[in-house]
Structure 1
Amino acid sequence: MTRRGVWPAAPAPLPGPIVDNHCHLDFPAGDEPRSVEDRLAEADAAGVTRVVQIGCDLESARWTADAVARFPQMVGGVALHPNDAAVLAAEGAYDEAFAEISELARGERIRVVGETGLDYYRTGPEGRGAQLQAFRDHIALAKELNKPLQIHDRDAHADVIDVLMADGAPETTVFHCFSGDAAMARLCADRGWYLSFAGTVTFKNASLLQAAAAVTPLSLTLIETDSPFLTPHPHRGAPNSPAHAAHTVREIARLHDRPLEEICAAVWDTSHELYGPW
């Protein structure tokens, strides 16, 4: 997966540090590729001083396990993305792949099991059984390791919640790139599940998502980029990087009508409660 285009200008620095809860620094991006070191330095200058790097297939999971040992501002998560899980199952390669993910997830600086879940946008009905089994396997792994679970939920809200209710959600459950409405946000908050908001919440046509962010308690709110994708306004469509979480946290402050300093501090504290010290 790639995101081409011209890199946008760095945002103005935040008044306090925050964490990018979900990014893919191993994915190719930009017409002129930039190093991981450059993107982390740009993020640090903007106030995004910590990142959670997600490896969502075997290649990126291996990259993540190596990168978190080299970059002190980075911790990681590993899993098989639901779309990849369906392909692997069709090829008869899922069990071996999940076994390797299970081993990588035991690393001390791998703090997350994810992203896992259900994706009905790219995978048709023929792959849903495999996605469901993979989701349940990752839920069980997160419980076994006592690590947070990060969920990928695309066009599958009801089924994702049904699985979490049936299997029992891990103690710490995060909806990565939350895309539900205010009613779903309240349902998740009532169960103590965390909601991570990406650049999509800044889009002009995102009124339902903005309403969801406004009703989500700050104690359950996280910020992410999902970079190099989902670049926030005013750079929508350009390649994304962790620095641009600064735009999203400013939108959350606007939606809650709270000082930006307060939102930054809340996101920082919540991120460290979930993932531990960097």
Structure 2
Amino acid sequence: MSKKTDRREPPPDPQQLPGLVDAHTHLAACGGRSAETVAAILDHAAAVGVEQVVTVADDMVDARWAIAAAEWDDRCYAAVALHPMHAGDLTAQTQAELEEMARHERVVAVGETGLDYYWPSRSPDCASPQVQAEAFSWHIDLAKRVGKPLMIHNREADRALLDILAAEGSPETVIMHCFSGDAAIARECVERGYVLSFSGTVTFGNAQTLQEAALLVPDGQILVETDAPFLTPHPYRGRRNQSYCLPYTARFLAELRGVSDGEMAAILGGNARRVYGISS
């Protein structure tokens, strides 16, 4: 089988690891745009032990899909916000709609929001850093007003992002989605009480710095996610990700941190249910 053909094949099912929650996925981008397709994705995940998922919005259309998915299937919860790339879409009208969405009973976080300094110089469609910062501040305030966790997107903007959170005042719960920083940034986040969520990137062969960061996060402040359909864990990097792949990353974290797979799954799943306020 050629490498190109191989990458078209979905990763095989991992061995079952009960108790997990996918703390961040994108069901619509995975093909979940109807009650039937969402159920199929979640059935596949449940078969390997991934019991619940949080599906996350990038833009207004995605936010509507996320809430619909959470209404279709009680294993699914939603997070809504404008991704920093789409920060320019924040207007009085979208603010009003996002606030209404954020108060929805199936929405468990405001996100993903934050800063992305990678794309502005590479895409004319990406909001400028200044526009991103203004939208980020608004989302921080929204999370505080609705009393829900703030889910952070951060790409190459560690210091600026942490400075804005400090200046605005962090909500009670801050989730650093797809944490990508080094040990020093991880330590600062931990000291602030933030929750660090690790995706398949932590399993990559060139991720030693990220693995060092994952080692120092206390048990009560760590989550696991797929960010599907992206960031498929090793050894299936480059293939299309989905929530059923989560046990690969959970098992990697267990080995890295020197605990059993079952203990790691209980920690990760328990943290997600507590942080998001969802029942088992």
Corresponding letter in the other structure for 2:9: V
Superposed displacement of residue 19, structure 1: 0.4
State the distance in 1 between where 2:117 and 2:249 align. Answer: 26
2:14 to 11, 21, 26: 11
- Per-residue deviation, 1:173: 0.3
Query: How much is the aligned-residue C-alpha RMSD, in angstroms?
Result: 1.7
Match of 2:82 in 1: 80
Offset from partner CA, 1:16-47 (integer Å, 9 cap, x none): 31100000010156xxxx93222211110111
Q: Corresponding residue for 1:277?
A: 278
Cα distance change of structure 1 residues 162 and 72 upon mapping to structure 2, 3 Å threshold: same
Which residue is 1:114 aligned to? 111
Whole-angstrom CA distance in 2 between matches of 1:174 and 1:70: 25
| 1:177 aligns to 2:178 (yes or no) | yes
TM-score by length of 2: 0.91
The letter of the residue matching 1:11 is P
Aligned counterparts of 1:188 and 1:67: Cα–Cα separation in 2? 31
Partner Cα separation in structure 1 for residue 65 and residue 253 of structure 2:
31
Give the aligned residue type for 2:13. Answer: A
The CA deviation string for residues 24-74 of structure 1, in whole angstroms up to 9 with x for no partner, is 010156xxxx93222211110111111001112110101111111111101
Identify the match of residue 56 of structure 2 among 54, 57, 80. Answer: 54
Q: Distance in 1 between matches of 2:94 and 2:13?
A: 38
Which secondary structure state, in structure 2, belongs to the residue aligned with residue 27 of structure 1? helix
Gaps of 5+ in 2: 1-6
From 66, 70, 75, give the equivalent of 1:68. Answer: 70
Per the alignment, residue 27 of structure 1 pairs with 29
Kindly state the Cα deviation for residue 101 of structure 1 after the two structures are TM-superposed: 1.2
Identity between Structure 1 and Structure 2 (%): 44
Distance 1:263 1:9 in 2: 21
For 1:146-202, what per-residue CA distance to the aligned partner results, in whole angstroms no more than 9, with x for missing partners? 100000000100011000111111000000000001111111111110000000000
Q: Flag the 1:152–1:9 CA change in 2: closer, same or farther, 3 A.
A: same
Q: Is the 8 A contact 1:80 1:98 kept in 2?
A: no
C-alpha separation in 2, matches of 1:7 and 1:192: 36
| Partner residue in 1 for 2:42 | 40
Distance 1:13 1:27, change over 3 A: same
| Kept in 1: contact 2:86–2:127 (CA 8 A) | no
Q: Contact 2:111–2:152 at 8 Å: present in 1 too?
A: yes
If the length of structure 1 is used for normalisation, what is the TM-score?
0.92
Runs of 4+ aligned structure 1 residues displaced above 6 Å come to none
* Number of residue equivalences: 266
Preserved contact between residue 50 and residue 74 of structure 1 (Cα < 8 Å): yes
- Where structure 1 has 5 or more consecutive residues not aligned to the other structure, the ranges are none
Distance 1:143 1:72, change over 3 A: same
Contact 2:38–2:69, Cα closer than 8 Å, also in 1:
no
Q: Is the 8 A contact 2:87 2:127 kept in 1?
A: no
- Indicate how the Cα distance of structure 1 residues 232 and 126 shifts in structure 2: closer, same or farther if over 3 A, else same: closer
Partner of 1:152: 153
Residues of 2 paired with 1:49 and 1:142: CA distance? 26
Residues in 2 aligned to 1:61 and 1:200: alpha-carbon distance in whole angstroms: 25
Cα separation, 1, equivalents of 2:179 and 2:93: 30
